[in-house]
A and B are shown apart, each in its own frame.
Chain A
Amino acid sequence: MQQCFIARSSWCKLHPVRVLFFAQLKDATKCDSLEIALPSPVSAEQLWAELLKKFPALAGHRSSVRLAKNFEYTAPGAQFSNADEVALIPPVSGG
């Protein structure tokens, strides 16, 4: 799948946040990852706002999706900044 980029001229940073999509979220976004350059650390709320602007189809999944930052589930109040790898984890079904 192809990567999608959000580029904002005033936000140009070297290491943007990388957001990964899995399972049904890949179908919703039609891509498996996205890079967003952030001006400063953001909350989960702000990150979601940015994602929903780009992919309105994610709205329906939001309540069931957990956020992971750098390979760990995030606690409430987590901040996301450049160079983080963020994953949107829909309900899992391994085993």
Chain B
Amino acid sequence: MEIEIELTRGPIVEKILPQSTGARGAWLEFRGVVRGEENGQRISALEYEAYPEMAAREIRRLLGEISTRHPCLATKIIHRIGAIPVGETAIYVGVASAHRGEGIALLAEFMDKLKQDVPIWKRRALPFVGDEVTSLNISKKQSTVSPGTLDDALAKISSRCAPLPAVRLSLQESLGRILRETICAPNDLPDADRSTRDGYAILENDCSETFLMVDTLHAADWKPRQLKISEAVRIATGASLPCEGLRVVMQENVQRNGDKIHIIKSETDHNIRKRGEEVKSGAPLVWAGVRLDAGKLALLASAGCVQPLVSPRLRVVHFTTGDEVTPPDQTPLPGQIRDSNSILIRGLLQDYSCDLAQSHLPENFEAAKEKINHHKEVIEKANVVLISGGASVGDKDFTRPLLESLGFEIVFSQVAIRPGRPMIFGVSGSRIAFGLPGNPLSHFVCFHLFVAAALAKLCGAPPGRFLRGRLSAPINDPNPRETLWPARLEWAGANTMLHPLKWSSSGDLTCLAEAGALVRVPPNSPALAAGAEVEFLTAGNNCFQ
């Protein structure tokens, strides 16, 4: 029995495709999903822990043992660990068997034994975030609550954002949108056996030396006929073959004399693309949740899908704050700096289909509130409100009360990461808001970690996954907070290298200009040596990947 086992920290998006192996008569898929309640309490997520090396061996041992009683052909097991939001898959089991009986029996017995023997634990339930509803009165008290972890924050974002209603658009307008339905092939691709060469179609096993040319087929021709021994049909590249059991001899290997041809060089290749070789009729072509790029749109066009169901265009409002910032085209006075966050946010949003409105708020709560009231209509229609700066606990920092005055319920206001600890996430109906720390590097990190995850959820795409790579140089900077270390990324498959960048403060812009990845350094981590395997998130224009 083929066995595939995976323990992952990211969402399980696995889909099993019935492969064309004749013996497989039954395909079973089981997903164990996190319920909204644990011991009578509403929860937002469950956190799982595993002893990964042993868990994988134990799963393999169990499957081996159970399959002696219920022989199956293939199994795939994926268990997610870390914080898993309500409604998402904790375990996925796919089973292929000759008949349904043994598949169902294996699945049932495996799940029972998994819960007895495999070293994976439900560690704790994260409480339902709605309980954290705040008002202005208690918001001061809440800010002293110790900040949650990165995983907690991501689980809360995932559970509080819902995909926006999808729309049907023309292919041209769908570029860059997230596909919200799975498009299946309406027919086999290619739809008939087609020649891959300009040449002559003859019977597969015909050993004649001379052939009589009985027909000519161009690319668009559809002329079925049964060929006989010593008969050949002139055929163009891409044309449908007239019947089954043929091969195509390249014209370069043939000598032609009127309607007679003579093969001068034998070939082993049939030079035929078989019907359904690329995709079988009814098989998924493009999955829901992927971003429609040029290639995928071309595939949809070829399948005749001209009005796909896609994510709507997002409406984003972005406010910068702080009296210390001046527009980039002005020379800052002493104590001032140029605004880099406006263009940073605009650039980061480039890969999302969105309309962006940007404005600056004065550094005075009443004045800011008044200015924001001018924009009330835009804010009410926005899907996402972003406020840069003003998220810390300084006297002038007012993002939190400002968002509350706009009707947002604050879900969290701090995350134990660096850079970027003051980080506010709020919800109001289907609208969401982020208060981002003002420093550019913090901005960059928080956008990729949190805003991108929320935008993906609103659009109906899976969030970015942490990938694995190796450090090219050591990181030795123990800190009680989890650190997202900016790094230059060098893709090389299994040997993807991360070059940690010099980074001294959250305002470090030179480092930001080079960063292509954020390396996850756990809290209180001992020094990470060069060559150490680490988790990272791609940064820069890599959304949805």
Distance, CA A71 to CA B79, complexed state (A): 18
Check A94 against B48 for contact (C-beta < 8 Å): yes
Task: Name the CB-closest residue of B to A22.
Answer: B51
Task: Name the CB-closest residue of A to B122.
Answer: A93
Write out the residue numbers on chain A whose beta carbons fall within 8 Å of the beta carbon of B55.
94
With A2-B524, A23-B49, A23-B123 in contact, is A92–B54 under 8 Å at CB? no
Check A95 against B115 for contact (C-beta < 8 Å): yes
Task: Name the CB-closest residue of A to B93.
Answer: A95
Q: How far is the CB of A73 from chain B (nearest CB, A)?
A: 8
Q: How far is the CB of B157 from chain A (nearest CB, A)?
A: 25
Write out the residue numbers on chain B whose beta carbons fall within 8 Å of the beta carbon of A73.
117
Q: Is B284 an interface residue (CB 8 A)?
A: no
Q: Is A89 an interface residue (CB 8 A)?
A: yes
Check A68 against B49 for contact (C-beta < 8 Å): no
Partner of A95, one of B49, B114, B123, B524: B114
Distance, CA A90 to CA B114, complexed state (A): 14
Check B57 against A22 for contact (C-beta < 8 Å): no
Task: Name the CB-closest residue of A to B55.
Answer: A94
Check B121 against A90 for contact (C-beta < 8 Å): yes
Task: Name the CB-closest residue of A to B81.
Answer: A94
Task: Name the CB-closest residue of A to B54.
Answer: A71
Q: Report the tally of A-B residue pairs with Cβ distances under 8 A.
A: 57
With A23-B49, A93-B122 in contact, is A72–B115 under 8 Å at CB? no
Q: Is B32 an interface residue (CB 8 A)?
A: yes
Q: Is B74 an interface residue (CB 8 A)?
A: no
Check A93 against B120 for contact (C-beta < 8 Å): yes
Write out the residue numbers on chain A whose beta carbons fall within 8 Å of the beta carbon of B111.
95
Q: Which residues between 82 and 134 of chain B lie within 8 Å of chain A, taking CB atoms?
A: 90-91, 111, 114-123
Write out, one digit per residue, whether chain A residues 61-77 have a CB within 8 A of any chain B CB (1) or not (0). 00000001001110000
Check B118 against A92 for contact (C-beta < 8 Å): yes
With A22-B49, A72-B57 in contact, is A95–B91 under 8 Å at CB? yes
Dominant secondary structure of chain A at its interface with chain B: loop
Write out, one digit per residue, whether chain B residues 516-538 have a CB within 8 A of any chain A CB (1) or not (0). 00000000100000000000000
Distance, CA A12 to CA B49, complexed state (A): 33
Write out, one digit per residue, whether chain A residues 32-63 have a CB within 8 A of any chain B CB (1) or not (0). 00000000000000000000000000000000
Q: Is B53 an interface residue (CB 8 A)?
A: yes
Check A94 against B123 for contact (C-beta < 8 Å): no
Q: How far is the CB of A32 from chain B (nearest CB, A)?
A: 10
Check A87 against B54 for contact (C-beta < 8 Å): yes
Write out, one digit per residue, whether chain B residues 48-73 have a CB within 8 A of any chain A CB (1) or not (0). 11110111011000000000000000
Q: Is A20 an interface residue (CB 8 A)?
A: yes
Q: How far is the CB of B43 from chain A (nearest CB, A)?
A: 15
Check B91 against A94 for contact (C-beta < 8 Å): yes
Dominant secondary structure of chain B at its interface with chain A: mixed
With A22-B121, A23-B121 in contact, is A93–B51 under 8 Å at CB? no
Write out the residue numbers on chain B whose beta carbons fall within 8 Å of the beta carbon of A22.
49, 51, 119, 121
Check B57 against A87 for contact (C-beta < 8 Å): no
Check A95 against B121 for contact (C-beta < 8 Å): no
Distance, CA A90 to CA B118, complexed state (A): 11
Write out the residue numbers on chain B whose beta carbons fall within 8 Å of the beta carbon of A94.
48, 50, 55, 79, 91, 114-115, 118-122
Distance, CA A37 to CA B111, complexed state (A): 38
Check A71 against B57 for contact (C-beta < 8 Å): yes
Write out the residue numbers on chain B whose beta carbons fall within 8 Å of the beta carbon of A71.
53-54, 57-58
Distance, CA A72 to CA B119, complexed state (A): 10
Q: How far is the CB of B111 from chain A (nearest CB, A)?
A: 6
Write out the residue numbers on chain B whose beta carbons fall within 8 Å of the beta carbon of A68.
51, 54, 119
Write out, one digit per residue, whether chain A residues 13-31 have a CB within 8 A of any chain B CB (1) or not (0). 0000000101100000000
Q: Which residues between 490 and 545 of chain B lie within 8 Å of chain A, taking CB atoms?
A: 524
Write out the residue numbers on chain A whose beta carbons fall within 8 Å of the beta carbon of B118.
92, 94
Interface centre among A73, A89, A92 (most CB of B within 10 A): A92
Q: How far is the CB of A95 from chain B (nearest CB, A)?
A: 5
Check B79 against A89 for contact (C-beta < 8 Å): no
Distance, CA A31 to CA B51, complexed state (A): 15
Q: How far is the CB of B419 from chain A (nearest CB, A)?
A: 24
Write out the residue numbers on chain B whose beta carbons fall within 8 Å of the beta carbon of A87.
51, 54, 119
Check A92 against B121 for contact (C-beta < 8 Å): yes
Check B51 against A20 for contact (C-beta < 8 Å): yes
Write out the residue numbers on chain A whose beta carbons fall within 8 Å of the beta carbon of B49.
22-23
Q: How far is the CB of B424 from chain A (nearest CB, A)?
A: 29
24 contacts between A and B (CB under 8 A): A1-B524, A2-B524, A20-B51, A22-B51, A22-B119, A23-B49, A23-B121, A68-B51, A68-B54, A73-B117, A89-B51, A90-B121, A92-B117, A93-B120, A94-B50, A94-B115, A94-B118, A94-B119, A94-B121, A95-B32, A95-B79, A95-B114, A95-B115, A95-B120
Residues of A bordering B, CB below 8 Å:
1-2, 20, 22-23, 68, 71-73, 87, 89-90, 92-95
**Known A2-B524, A23-B121, A89-B119; 17 more pairs at CB < 8 Å:** A20-B51, A22-B49, A87-B119, A89-B51, A90-B121, A92-B117, A93-B115, A94-B79, A94-B91, A94-B114, A94-B115, A94-B118, A94-B119, A94-B120, A94-B121, A95-B32, A95-B79
The 6 closest A-B pairs by CB, nearest first: A94-B120, A23-B121, A71-B54, A93-B122, A71-B57, A95-B91
